[in-house]
Amino acid sequence: MAQFKSETQRANFVKQEEEILEQWDREKTFERSVDSRKGGEQFIFVEGPPTANGLPHPGHVLTRVVKDLVLRYKTMRGFYVKRKAGWDTHGLPVEIEVEKNLGIKTKGEIEAYGIEKFNKKCKDSVFRYEKEWVTATKRVGFWVDMDSPYITFDTNYVESVWWSLKEIWKKGLLYKGHKVVPFCPRCETTLSSHEVAQDYRDVEDPSVYVKFKLKQDEELYLLAWTTTPWTLLGNIALAVHPSNTYVKVKLKDGAKGEILILAEARLDALDDEYEILERFKGKDLEDREYERLFEYAKVEGGEAHKVITAEFVTLDEGTGIVHIAPAFGEVDYEVCREKKLGFSQPVNSEGHFTDEVPPLEGMFVKDADRQIIEMMEQRGVLYKESKYLHSYPFCWRCGSPLLYYARESWFIAMKSLRDNLLANNEKINWYPAHLKHGRFGNFLDGIEDWALSRERFWGTPLNIWLCTECGKDFCVGSIEELKERATNTVSSDPHRPYIDEVVLRCEDCGGEMRRVKDVIDCWYDSGSAPFAQWHYPFETDKFKQNFPADFITEAIDQTRGWFYSLLAVSTAIFDEPPYLNVLSLGHILDENGVKMSKSKGNVVDITSIFDNEGADALRWYFFTAGPLSDDVRFSEQGIVEKQKKFLNTFWNSYFFFVTYAAIDEFNPKAKEIPVEKRNAMDRWIISRWNTLTNEVIAAIERFEIHVAARKIEDFVVNDLSNWYIRRSRRRFWIQEENFDKDCAYLTLYEVLVSLCKLLAPFVPFLTEHIYQNLVMSEDKHESVHLCDYPSTDETLIDAELEDSMLLVSKLVEAGRRARSDAGIKIRQPLKDVVVVCSAEKQDKVASLAVIIKDELNVRELKLEDAKGEFAAAEEYKQIEVDEDTALFLNTGLDKELIEEGIVRDIVRRIQGMRKDIDLEYTAKISIMYEGDEAVKEAINNFTDYICGETLAVELKEGIPSAESDQIYVKNWKIDKKEVHLAIEAA
């Protein structure tokens, strides 16, 4: 039979991982691992699609290894786990990347360049870093099917998205309205909220207090405040808080004795002395009409210039009277819509005043502030003016101040689905749990309609056609329907500009129908993944078998991103939750706790981690760092430490085993020894392993990955390596056939193999490497990833034994402390140690007495009842272990003990010398020595012991003075005695 392959003491993890990768590729291990579970219960996963137009960074790698861990685990637990990769390919970020490359900035420039060419570039750009993504994904060990991924620009995908929008349209949930969006007047484009967040600056704006004269009352003014005077041209209403107190005040002097109204809490805003004439609630002002400030702009669609009440009015700043301009503020727009007020838009799409405002026509709004203030002053409606410092958003591309500006937009009426969203959210398990009713639940509570359309180029075209004659809208739900209804040819590419050419016939009036020029928000694309990846409903089965998902995971920023868009789309169409468990991950910060970003230049290059420490070290670092929901301060040093502490220790446990198993030609298949026949150490480590397995599975099921990983690490480092193997070493060194040695081999072998399985989802490379060498198979490789996940054998858990061992380790600790206090090193044997404890503990200690004697290097262990009065002689050193346990160490020495101490020192030195000259473990040697009488006598009395320990065939006095390459000489000082030792291979 095949022998275990021998290993080097220091592992080359990176090289091993690369070999494993090749092997997985060659042997299609991933495909086999999935296929082997066909017929098993499904565990459904949906991949949150990344965009491959930038390099993957550590955060992406984290989500990928977490996905991988859970999916490998579930697979090993017997579930059939399909893993379709996905790519998010549409959207503004892609367009911006292309604009940059083309050196253009405005929509006009794009149109001049040609939408066809532009979109072609977008399509190419999307996969610019595909190779890097695929490489990193494979390298980190994420098993996902990248050969047949879903791609959001695919015609099939687009068709499914169209179908879903038609469902929403049929339910009457798709409507056209206005949305106030941040708009860059220079780039002529709206900005996403993400882009807006990129450049907030503290700026000084004019702070103006404006008097609005109430109708019917002479010289009675409402005092309003604004920092954007140019928006006053679009004023439609003034808002007050319904229940706050407002006052009518008479200004004492310098201000013509006029009378103003403002919130009582904001009287500080007045510069003048005043007298309060009257107090009333904001509600009392409702519906009072006031005179327009400027008579220029047209007002359409409703009433205007009256006082309304609104809860959002605050008393933190201003006057408690808020100027409302629906064209320039989101809240303004909403409240006007609610109160059915009119709309006024005196500014064009480049941010210049239109001809509705002759004195300012053609002026850029921000530049008009000065002139507007002067105009107000002339009319006597300006109460006062000052400067105001606040943070205001700027265009991150060109640095222009952004304007908030009402644009036409298509909406999904999510507000009307609020209760359904909340009900579906109840069916979802959130990790961490606080998100469910915290961040996410609160967000759903205050949900707004989804502004779906984007006035852009590269995206899923909005599938709505409008009749140019009668204005009727029609939503196309499939390619087939499009072809049926089209009066001209339909391109096979559903994108702009081809789709823009398709003309339909209006069923009502026979007029021409043309498509709305917009594309849709790419979040809707990815939110459609559960069905669109299967081209539902055009291919039915696959979707039905894969919905809803059992598990998704992404980082915390996706709560209002993908986590929401999935729920929103699924609720609107199926009224079901699209996923049942969602794991939200923290972010990767740099070493100083600051977010990694390109602009700060602190993004860690993940490929160098792969090349230096390897994927397993990185994975283990992530899994043990802390709860997955917490942010991680990423440090390469931390990864190196994990490698040293955990991977090396695991490797060395394995290395120890194969090294001796090779020497002994141990064959695990030839032995079968029931656990109960093995010794206490064996039964203990097996019990510990079974306890561990229980804990690990429970923790993974709770998504407490760090708890599982840390428990395994503790087991490997402390229980297995530093206790079981260290304590059992001598059993492996026995040269002849021996039952106890077989027990040790078998136990260590079983634990290592089981550990490989337990650890396989965590560190898939190292476990594969070790497993394949341990589980020998001549014809083909078996993979650890094709194994079943281990389960606990409760009959092998011996709680009492685990307990006893704990007590033993405490006693050993105490004994060492006693030695340390008495200044007697461990190599010096001592006569006895006395343990005073309860009868119950005595039994436990007695069963493991050998271990204590050996660890403490004492000849005898005596037990005394705690109740009895143990009178220790003078030479006993006492140490308290716990309330009812004490340990007494006999520090008295006699000649024999001293001699043995010397001898053990000599053996230790010789072993060190063997190591110095790299002797094989099994090589025989000759020993030569020189020393004083005491040394000579000790050596003579313990010749057999020395020879046995050091594999010496000869032990003689005198070291040849002649230089020889064969002889290795070293001079030592043992307890202040000069000792010269020499060894030579025999």
Partner RNA sequence: GGGCUCGUAGCUUAGGCUGGUUGGAGCGCUCGGCUGAUAACCGAGAGGUCCGGAGUUCAAAUCUCCGCGGGCCCA
Residues 649-678 interacting with RNA (rule: CB under 7 A): 649, 652-653, 655-656, 659
Among 370, 825, 895, 956, binds RNA (CB under 7 A): 825
Residues 448-467 interacting with RNA (rule: CB under 7 A): none
Residue range at the interface with RNA (CB under 7 A); choices 191-199, 284-292, 490-498, 507-515: 191-199
In whole angstroms, the minimum distance from the beta carbon of 556 to RNA comes to 5
In whole angstroms, the minimum distance from the beta carbon of 881 to RNA comes to 11
In whole angstroms, the minimum distance from the beta carbon of 882 to RNA comes to 8
- For RNA, which is the closer residue by CB, 328 or 656? 656
- For RNA, which is the closer residue by CB, 457 or 563? 563
Size of the site for RNA (CB under 7 A): 73
- For RNA, which is the closer residue by CB, 483 or 825? 825
Residue range at the interface with RNA (CB under 7 A); choices 93-101, 111-119, 276-284, 811-819: 811-819
Q: Quote the DSSP letter at residue 140.
A: T
Give the β-pairing of 876-882 and 885-890. Answer: antiparallel
Among 638, 668, 790, 829, binds RNA (CB under 7 A): 638
Contact (CB, 8 A) for 521 and 473: no
Tokens standing for residue 439? 């961040």
**200 is a contact residue toward RNA (CB under 7 A):** yes
- Active site annotation includes 853: no
Residues 524-583 interacting with RNA (rule: CB under 7 A): 556-557, 559-561
Q: Which of 15, 598, 644, 671 is catalytic?
A: 598
User: What is the distance between the alpha carbons of residues 724 and 71, in angstroms, rounded to a whole number?
Assistant: 32
Q: How far apart are the first and last CA of the chain?
A: 32
Contact (CB, 8 A) for 628 and 588: no
If you write DSSP's letter for every residue of 860-874 in order, what string do you get?
A: EEEEEESSS-----T
**943 is a contact residue toward RNA (CB under 7 A):** no
In whole angstroms, the minimum distance from the beta carbon of 13 to RNA comes to 12
Rg (Cα) of the chain, in Å, rounded? 40
Among 589, 863, 866, 872, binds RNA (CB under 7 A): 589
User: What is the distance between the alpha carbons of residues 70 and 703, in angstroms, rounded to a whole number?
Assistant: 9
User: What is the distance between the alpha carbons of residues 307 and 290, in angstroms, rounded to a whole number?
Assistant: 8
Q: Which of 16, 558, 643, 828 is catalytic?
A: 558
* Contact residues for 704 (Cβ-Cβ < 8 A; gap 6+): 627
- Active site annotation includes 562: yes
User: Nearest Cα to 651, choosing from 1, 3, 16?
Assistant: 16
Residues 418-437 interacting with RNA (rule: CB under 7 A): 434-435
- For RNA, which is the closer residue by CB, 521 or 768? 521
In whole angstroms, the minimum distance from the beta carbon of 390 to RNA comes to 9
Q: Does 182 sit behind a cis peptide bond, omega within 30 degrees of 0 on the bond before it?
A: no
In whole angstroms, the minimum distance from the beta carbon of 597 to RNA comes to 7
Tokens standing for residue 812? 């050993």
Among 281, 439, 505, 517, binds RNA (CB under 7 A): 439
Tokens standing for residue 591? 């070493």
Q: Which of 87, 225, 562, 689 is catalytic?
A: 562
User: What is the distance between the alpha carbons of residues 63 and 60, in angstroms, rounded to a whole number?
Assistant: 5
Amino acid (1-letter code) at residue 943:
T
User: What is the distance between the alpha carbons of residues 823 and 935, in angstroms, rounded to a whole number?
Assistant: 21
**6 is a contact residue toward RNA (CB under 7 A):** no
Residue range at the interface with RNA (CB under 7 A); choices 226-234, 512-520, 626-634, 676-684: 626-634
User: What is the distance between the alpha carbons of residues 986 and 983, in angstroms, rounded to a whole number?
Assistant: 9
Residues 278-317 interacting with RNA (rule: CB under 7 A): none
User: What is the distance between the alpha carbons of residues 941 and 166, in angstroms, rounded to a whole number?
Assistant: 97
Residues 886-925, mask of contacts with RNA (x by CB under 7 A): ------------------x--xx--xx-xx---xxx-x--
Among 189, 526, 546, 648, binds RNA (CB under 7 A): 648
Phi-psi region of 83 (alpha: psi -120 to 50; beta: other; left: phi over 0): beta
Among 149, 206, 537, 627, binds RNA (CB under 7 A): 627
How many CB atoms are closer than 10 A to CB 859?
13
- For RNA, which is the closer residue by CB, 439 or 472? 439
Among 587, 781, 831, 970, binds RNA (CB under 7 A): 587
- For RNA, which is the closer residue by CB, 28 or 729? 729
User: What is the distance between the alpha carbons of residues 6 and 662, in angstroms, rounded to a whole number?
Assistant: 7
In whole angstroms, the minimum distance from the beta carbon of 949 to RNA comes to 7
Residues 727-756, mask of contacts with RNA (x by CB under 7 A): --x---------------------------
Place of tokens 């530049």: 367
Q: Which of 298, 427, 595, 956 is catalytic?
A: 595
- Active site annotation includes 558: yes
Q: Which of 430, 523, 684, 689 is catalytic?
A: 523
- Active site annotation includes 598: yes
Q: Does 537 sit behind a cis peptide bond, omega within 30 degrees of 0 on the bond before it?
A: yes
In whole angstroms, the minimum distance from the beta carbon of 790 to RNA comes to 21
In whole angstroms, the minimum distance from the beta carbon of 726 to RNA comes to 4
- For RNA, which is the closer residue by CB, 10 or 28? 10
In whole angstroms, the minimum distance from the beta carbon of 552 to RNA comes to 16
- For RNA, which is the closer residue by CB, 430 or 531? 430
**878 is a contact residue toward RNA (CB under 7 A):** no
- For RNA, which is the closer residue by CB, 70 or 639? 639
User: What is the distance between the alpha carbons of residues 902 and 443, in angstroms, rounded to a whole number?
Assistant: 75
Tokens standing for residue 283? 């509600």
Contact (CB, 8 A) for 906 and 934: no
User: Nearest Cα to 934, choosing from 892, 903, 958, 909?
Assistant: 903
Buried b or exposed e, range 654-681, using 16+ CB within 10 angstroms: bbbbbbbbeebebebeeeeeebeebebb
User: What is the distance between the alpha carbons of residues 24 and 175, in angstroms, rounded to a whole number?
Assistant: 51
User: What is the distance between the alpha carbons of residues 74 and 45, in angstroms, rounded to a whole number?
Assistant: 11
- Secondary structure string (H, E, C) spanning 569-589: HHHHHCCCCCECEEEEECCEE
In whole angstroms, the minimum distance from the beta carbon of 850 to RNA comes to 17
- Active site annotation includes 523: yes
In whole angstroms, the minimum distance from the beta carbon of 704 to RNA comes to 9
Residues 696-725 interacting with RNA (rule: CB under 7 A): 706, 717-718, 721-722, 725
- For RNA, which is the closer residue by CB, 169 or 620? 620
**631 is a contact residue toward RNA (CB under 7 A):** yes
Residues 245-284 interacting with RNA (rule: CB under 7 A): none
User: What is the distance between the alpha carbons of residues 13 and 811, in angstroms, rounded to a whole number?
Assistant: 38
In whole angstroms, the minimum distance from the beta carbon of 352 to RNA comes to 24
- For RNA, which is the closer residue by CB, 167 or 195? 195
Among 391, 599, 777, 961, binds RNA (CB under 7 A): 391
Among 194, 544, 702, 859, binds RNA (CB under 7 A): 194
Among 248, 645, 970, 980, binds RNA (CB under 7 A): 645
Contact (CB, 8 A) for 430 and 579: no
Residues 331-350 interacting with RNA (rule: CB under 7 A): 331
Residues 201-220 interacting with RNA (rule: CB under 7 A): none
User: What is the distance between the alpha carbons of residues 36 and 886, in angstroms, rounded to a whole number?
Assistant: 57
- For RNA, which is the closer residue by CB, 533 or 950? 950
User: What is the distance between the alpha carbons of residues 303 and 641, in angstroms, rounded to a whole number?
Assistant: 70
User: Nearest Cα to 314, choosing from 265, 269, 281, 278?
Assistant: 265
What interhelical angle do 849-856 and 726-733 show, nearest 10?
Answer: 90
Contact (CB, 8 A) for 804 and 791: no
Residues belonging to the active site: 49, 88, 523, 558, 562, 595, 598
